[in-house]
Amino acid sequence: MDKFNFLREGMMKLPPGFRFQPTDEELVFEYLKRKVLSWPLPASIIPEINVFKFDPWDLPGDIEQERYFFSNKEAKYPNGNRINRATASGFWKATGVDRQIGSSKNQAMGMKKTLVFYRGKNPHASKTDWIMHEYRLVSVGNIACNNFQPTKNSSQNSSEQIEKWVLCRIFMKKRNSEINQACKDERIENVAVMSHQPRFFDFLTREKIVFDSVSSSSSSSSSSIITEVSSNGEDLGEESSSTRNFF
């Protein structure tokens, strides 16, 4: 997807070794609020895209990692407030209760909604492991900022911008079976590594053990043979003596 090259370019701005792992509060008040008020962002690595026009696996970025997007809220009906969350292959369905994200510093407030992607159409849609956290602002609180003066856009159109933008975190939930399989694979790998480690033998000790074993076996065999011969000899001796006495 050539048109999404800007995402990779944005990620390249991070110093080597750093990962983008923001908290809920940072996403709402350091990114979404700044986006709404047209303030500079801490890092320009979150692209703007209507996530509901794409299936989750077709969105830019690594599907094995969490991905973040600024998205426009599109009404499902011209005269309604319901958001259109249908894609080409399915739809996003809200689950649970929205969680409030507040900031006592400037009385701003945001909300976090959790959605699950269903493939197909009702009533035969199937639930998938794709999860979305959708963040939205309810109020921006005190618009004044120590570092950035309010712009015309931020002061006059903040309410409009609040209704326009959401920030989405999209990822795939790992199943318990996948986690167990990963642990099993790791154990197998560890066993394989241990089995390939060189083993050192004390050959002198081993030869001594073998020699002692052979010697012990030979001694026992010889003693048994000697005992058998001596017993036969004693018998012959006694027989000769009695014979001599008889004659």
Q: Render 162-204 in DSSP notation, one character per residue.
A: HHHEEEEEEEEPPPHHHHHHHHHHHHHHHHHHHHTS-----HH
pTM score: 0.64
Interatomic CA distance for residues 8 and 14, integer angstroms: 11
DSSP 43: -
Torsion sign, CA atoms 11, 16, 20, 22: negative
CA-based angle 177:183:186, to the nearest 5?
140
Residue 100 CB neighbours (<10 A): 10
Residue of 243 and 102 predicted with greater confidence: 102
Q: DSSP letter string over 84-98?
A: --B-SSEEEEEEEEE
Distant-in-sequence, close-in-space partners of 11: CB < 8 Å, separation ≥ 6 = 20, 45
Question: In the CATH scheme, what architecture does the domain 67-75+84-143+167-175 have?
Answer: Beta Complex (2.170)
The answer to whether residues 37 and 165 touch, using CB atoms and an 8 Å cutoff, is: no
Instruction: Of 123, 130, 136, give the one whose Cα is nearest residue 67.
Output: 130
What is the pLDDT at residue 146? 47
Could you report the per-residue pLDDT of 68-96, keeping only the tens digit for each? 999 988 777 777 677 889 999 999 999 99
What is the pLDDT at residue 34? 93
Could you report the per-residue pLDDT of 198-224, keeping only the tens digit for each? 554 454 555 554 445 545 555 554 444
DSSP H helices, the chain, are: 5-11, 24-26, 33-36, 152-156, 158-164, 176-195, 203-246
What is the pLDDT at residue 238? 44
What is the pLDDT at residue 156? 56
Interatomic CA distance for residues 133 and 112, integer angstroms: 6
Domain extents in the chain? 67-75+84-143+167-175
**CA 2 to chain CA mean position, Å:** 28
